[in-house]
Amino acid sequence: MKEMKIIKRSGEEVPFDKEKIVNALKKANREVSERDRISEGALYAIADVVTEQCESLGRAPHVEEIQDMVENRLMATLCFALARKYITYRYNRTLVRKVNTTDAQILSLIECNNEEVKQENSNKNPTVNSVQRDYMAGEVSKDLTRRILLPNDIVAAHDEGLIHFHDADYFAQHMHNCDLVNLEDMLQNGTVISGTLIEKPHSFSTACNIATQIIAQVASNQYGGQSISLTHLAPFVDISRQKIRKEVAEELVGLNASEEHVAEIAEKRLRDEIRRGIQTIQYQVVTLLTTNGQAPFVTVFMYLNEARNEQEKADLAMIIEETLRQRILGVKNEEGVWITPAFPKLIYVLEPDNITEDQPYFYLTELAAKCTAKRMVPDYISEKKMLEYKVDKNGEGHCYTCMGCRSFLTPYVDEDGKPKYYGRFNQGVVTINLVDVALSSGKNEEKFWQIFDNRLELCYRALMERHNRLKGTLSDAAPILWQYGALARLKKGEPIDKLLYGGYSTISLGYAGLYECVKYMTDKSHTDEEAKPFALAVMKHMNDKCKEWKAKENIDFSLYGTPLESTTYKFSKCLQKRFGVIPGVTDKSYITNSYHVHVSEEIDAFTKLKFESEFQQLSPGGAISYVEVPNMQDNIPAVLSVMKFIYENIMYAELNTKSDYCQVCGYDGEIQIVHDESGKLVWECPHCHNRDQSKMNVARRTCGYIGTQYWNQGRTQEIKDRVLHL
For residue 1, the model assigns a pLDDT of 46
Is the pLDDT at 9 greater than 90? The verdict is no
Q: Does the annotation count 565 as an active-site position?
A: yes
10, 114, 122, 177: the catalytic one is 177
Angle between helices 532-553 and 514-522 (to 10 degrees): 130
Angstrom CA distances, 672 to 300, 658, 684, stand at: 30, 10, 5
354-397 residue pLDDT tens: 999 999 999 999 999 999 999 999 999 999 999 999 999 999 99
Determine the pLDDT at residue 128. Answer: 62
Among candidate residues 11, 485, 513, 704, the one labeled active-site is: 704
CATH topology of domain 178-389: Anaerobic Ribonucleotide-triphosphate Reductase Large Chain (3.20.70)
Q: Give percent above pLDDT 70 in the chain.
A: 91
> Would the pLDDT of 480 be above 80?
yes
Give the model's pLDDT for residue 122. 47
Give the pLDDT confidence score for residue 301 in this predicted structure: 97
pLDDT higher for 405 or 508?
508
- The residue among 498 and 291 whose pLDDT is bigger is 498
Average pLDDT over residues 584-604: 95
Same fold yes or no, 161-173+428-474+501-623+646-721 and 178-389: yes
pLDDT per residue as tens digits for the range 152-211: 999 999 999 999 999 998 898 899 999 999 999 999 999 999 899 999 999 999 999 999
Q: What is the mean pLDDT of residues 417-443?
A: 97
CA-to-CA distance for 158 and 292, rounded, in angstroms? 23
Tell me if the bond preceding 341 is cis, omega within 30° of 0. Answer: no
Furthest C-alpha separation in the chain: 113
**What does each C-alpha distance from 461 to 43, 172, 431, 698 come to in angstroms?**
45, 17, 12, 40
State the Cα–Cα distance between residues 195 and 209, nearest whole angstrom. 17
The yes-or-no answer on residue 423 being catalytic is no
CATH number (2.30.130.10, 3.20.70.20, 2.60.40.10, 3.40.50.1100) of 161-173+428-474+501-623+646-721 reads: 3.20.70.20
pLDDT at site 42: 85
Query: For residue 76, what pLDDT is reported?
Result: 82
**Burial class of residue 683 in the structure, from the number of CB atoms within 10 Å of its CB (0-12 exposed, 13-18 middle, 19+ buried):** buried
Count how many residues are written for the chain. Answer: 726
* pLDDT greater than 70 at residue 460: yes
Cα distance from N-terminal residue to C-terminal residue, the chain: 39
Return d(Cα 189, Cα 178) in angstroms, integer. Answer: 23
Whole-number pLDDT of residue 432: 98
613-668 pLDDT, tens digit each:
999 999 999 999 999 999 899 999 999 999 999 999 999 999 999 878 899 999 98
Query: Is 662 a catalytic site residue?
Result: no
Does pLDDT of 723 surpass 70? yes
Could you state, in order of their start, the residue ranges of all structural domains in the chain?
A: 5-149, 161-173+428-474+501-623+646-721, 178-389
Is residue 677's pLDDT more than 80?
yes
Give the residue-averaged pLDDT of 94-106: 56
The catalytic position among 403, 517, 696, 703 is 403
> Does residue 348 contact residue 354 with C-beta atoms inside 8 Å?
no
pLDDT at position 2:
61
**Active-site pick, 175, 318, 405, 459:** 405
Among 303, 560, 652, 705, the active-site one is 560
Residue 558: strand pairing partners: 508
Q: Can 426 be counted among the known catalytic residues?
A: yes
Please report which confidence band the pLDDT of residue 566 belongs to, taking 50, 70 and 90 as the band edges. confident
Contacts of 648 (CB under 8 A, 6+ apart): 382, 384
| Candidate from 50-64, 201-215, 597-611, 701-715 with smallest mean pLDDT | 701-715
Of the candidates 550, 186, 621, 566, the residue with the CA atom closest to the CA atom of residue 404: 621
Does the pLDDT at position 707 exceed 90? no
Confidence of residue 340 (pLDDT cuts 50, 70, 90): confident
Catalytic residue of the set 565, 654, 684, 718? 565
Rounded Cα distance, 499 and 179, in Å: 13
* Annotation says 55 is catalytic: no
- Which residues 6+ apart lie within 8 Å of 159 measured at CB? none
Angle at 359 between CA 353 and CA 360, to 5 degrees: 85
178 catalytic residue (yes or no): yes
Q: How confident is the model at residue 353 (pLDDT cuts 50, 70, 90)?
A: very high
Catalytic residue among 178, 521, 539, 696, which? 178
Catalytic annotation present for 704 = yes
The mean pLDDT value for 268-296 works out to 83
* Residue 519: predicted pLDDT: 98
What's the pLDDT score for residue 101?
54
pLDDT of residue 364: 98
Catalytic residue among 382, 426, 613, 697: 426
> Among 289-298, 397-406, 480-489, which range has the highest average pLDDT?
480-489
Average pLDDT, the chain: 90
Check if 625 is active-site: no
Position 77 confidence tier, pLDDT thresholds 50, 70, 90: confident
Residue 507 pLDDT > 80: yes
